[in-house]
Amino acid sequence: MDKGFEELLEHWKSQKGNVIPLLQKTQEIRGYLDREDMEAIAEVTGKSPAEIYGVATFYAQFRFQPPGRHTLKVCHGTACHVSGAEGLDLAVKTELGIEPGQTTEDGEFSVERVACLGCCSLAPVVMLDQEVHGRLTGDRLKKILRKAGK
């Protein structure tokens, strides 16, 4: 256990409602939640590891595998949905071989399906790392992914 994680546990151990903040802060530190982290959180909070895992799996914000070097968020808000977001999902699956919520075997890309990126006038939209790409087609998205993977 590293010092930052130990300090986090110590800081939050006696506070009420500490499970979700501990899970969030742990994910900020590590990038994801692993079994050992959730067991340590269980010990500090007096909950069972199964209870901690139950909370973590209930919320879509938590990841259980290391994120890829690049994070691709595919918007599925109303404007993006009607403008072809499903086609972007298909392009991702064809190009990277993964579904939303997964990471490529080489650790290069993680893909997330999000409710809205707030760029409705550019639909359909993805965010690759911190950069928004709009008015996409499957072919344009594939080119963007190939360029990022180099």
Question: Please, what is the end-to-end C-alpha distance for the chain in angstroms?
Answer: 34
Which residue do the tokens 């070097």 mark?
A: 69
The pLDDT tens digits of the residues spanning 23-39 come to 999 999 888 999 999 99
Query: Residue 74 pLDDT more than 80?
Result: yes
From the list 32, 37, 56, the residue with the least C-alpha distance to 110 is: 32
Query: Are the C-beta atoms of residues 106 and 112 closer than 8 Å to each other?
Result: no
Mean pLDDT across the chain:
93
The pLDDT tens digits of the residues spanning 98-144 come to 999 899 999 999 999 999 999 999 999 999 999 999 999 999 999 99
And the tokens for 81? Answer: 């949905």
pTM: 0.76
Structural domains of the chain ordered from first start: 3-58 (1.10.10.1590), 70-148 (3.40.30.10)
Query: Are the C-beta atoms of residues 141 and 91 closer than 8 Å to each other?
Result: yes
